[in-house]
Chains A and B, each alone.
Chain A
């Protein structure tokens, strides 16, 4: 054993270096290439501002949808086990593993002008979703909310139901039990889910482009702006990339220090 230890250490060090290089070098490239002198001016340009606003609006919308619709859905999924629940769970979780382009096509086929729901919306309300800001929001929610439901259901399943019984024996009705006992007690899961949902929605690119297009000021979010800039303004692309990378790192930091590691 003693003779093998140095070799194992070398192998370990090599693996670590390789892995670190694989993940760190691209980021390093981004940092080194960044036009730091132009940083402030570029960031304040109207085009970048529009993209940021759109990204913030759509990703925040996804989080709102997560709480308003995703939480009741997670509560229902966690409340038992049945074939219907299993099917619904697979449908809800699908966007997590689905190639985003497929998600985009699916959204377009459903909500597009001639889509299943889209044609009905057009005929009855004269509403057309594709290539609008609401479409960006829908794509963001479609991609982000599943992460929230995943975390919320896990939190609810691990929740000790007897606390609900204790609350009931103290006179608390179903709503008070849910909002004053269950939600605060599974808050770490909900926060983690909301952060993942928000981060995923913020980075959404493929489905958005497919379903909402790439219209400056209306549907061009940060990732889309980044992709456009790469073609004629590489410096701006690097800049936008850095901002997105910084936000993602921030989310990870939050997950690690506020949510996943309990005080």
Chain B
């Protein structure tokens, strides 16, 4: 059963316009900067926000919009949602929180509790059934929220920033559990996140939203290999530029330019892996066609490497070894030279 979201909605001056089809084959991560419309997208699918144009369909059922102007209220959609701050009902014990969806469907109390206990067992919280939400840790509350959503037997599952309020140590563990539950879910599932690691760990497909538009979508490998925007570049750690290429020169929007391969020409995305950016103390003399002076903005460790962010005609991130940083005595605020081979710059038509 596919979820087809082809709609637009306005909230004040913000407009979200998407055209997405989500099948049940894998988890889709919705990534994007703050205010990109990720949460609005989930709210529209859940029926908490009405769409203004287009339609939202689940299988052959129209949930919102379409020619008939249908609106199926949230309680009749079968769309389960795990909220960012869980929203567990504070007055209900954990088991009754999980049983809530079943009770709403008319399942008898005892039967609903029994099933809720099975779900709690599945998320490893069987012994916490009698607690109140206030007595749970963040990770436990997240598990209960997931169990509560799944116990209601939804046909679509939405998760809004499921790991953002979880401390780093619990996160790794929880991410693995979440991945298992997502993989076991039979319908379309969407996870909103702003964390690249979460997106790559949980999802098979990534949809990038920026300013209310889908700017890129594809498999994790596709997104990592060819990030199409600055945001995605930062997200996956690659340098991305948008500009106009002609005769082997790429003119960037900010005025800088790069020597690039001759093909393709026109509006393009240029991607440069940070490891392909070389740094020098003095102006190098060699084959690289792009050589320019830069100022070092920041040096941050990334795994066993250092990411050096530089500013100049072309803002870039270079990835070098800590040894190189020490040998060249690189420091934030200092000057350096960048060398970049034209063949290391990958161009994709925009």
Contacts and interface: CB of A to CB of B under 8 A. Distances in A.
Contact of B46 (A167, A169, A172, A185): A169
Interface stretch (B61-69, B73-81, B119-127): B73-81
Nearest to B91: A184
A168 B152 contact: no
B89 A173 contact: no
Interface string B140-154: 000000001100100
Interface in A121-167: 160, 162-163, 165-167
B91 A171 contact: no
A172 B87 contact: no
Contacts of A181: 89
Given A163-B87, A165-B74, A185-B89, A171 B105 contact: yes
B90 A173 contact: no
Nearest to B153: A171
Nearest to A171: B104
Contact of B74 (A162, A163, A169): A169
Given A162-B87, A184-B91, A185-B90, A169 B73 contact: no
B227 interface: no
Given A172-B104, A184-B91, A185-B90, A165 B75 contact: no
Nearest to B46: A169
Interface string B46-85: 1110000000000000000000000001111011110100
A176 interface: yes
B100 interface: yes
Contacts of A169: 46-48, 74-75, 79-81, 149
B101 interface: yes
A172 B75 CA distance: 6
A1 interface: no
A181 B87 CA distance: 11
B175 to A, nearest CB: 23
A171 B73 contact: no
Nearest to B88: A166
Contacts of B83: 162, 166
A84 interface: no
By DSSP majority rule, is chain A's interface helix, strand, loop, or mixed? helix
Nearest to B80: A169
Interface residues of A, number: 18
Given A162-B83, A166-B81, A171 B152 contact: yes
Contact of A168 (B48, B89, B91, B148): B48
A173 B87 contact: no
A170 B148 contact: yes
A187 B81 CA distance: 26
A204 B74 CA distance: 46
A170 B101 contact: yes
Contact of A176 (B74, B92, B104, B148): B104
Interface in A7-56: none
A163 B73 CA distance: 16
B104 A173 contact: yes
Contact of B80 (A163, A170, A176, A184): A170
Contacts of B148: 170
Contact of A166 (B76, B78, B87): B87
B91 to A, nearest CB: 4
Contacts of A173: 75, 104
B74 A168 contact: yes
A170 B102 CA distance: 8
A160 B73 CA distance: 19
Contacts of B89: 163, 166-167, 181, 184-185
Contacts of B76: 171
A172 B148 CA distance: 13
A166 B104 CA distance: 12
B104 A165 contact: no
Contacts of A167: 89, 100, 104
7 contacts: A162-B87, A169-B75, A170-B101, A170-B149, A171-B101, A172-B75, A180-B100
Interface of A: 160, 162-163, 165-173, 176, 180-181, 184-185, 187
**In the A-B complex, the 3 residue pairs with the closest CB atoms:** A170-B101, A168-B74, A166-B87
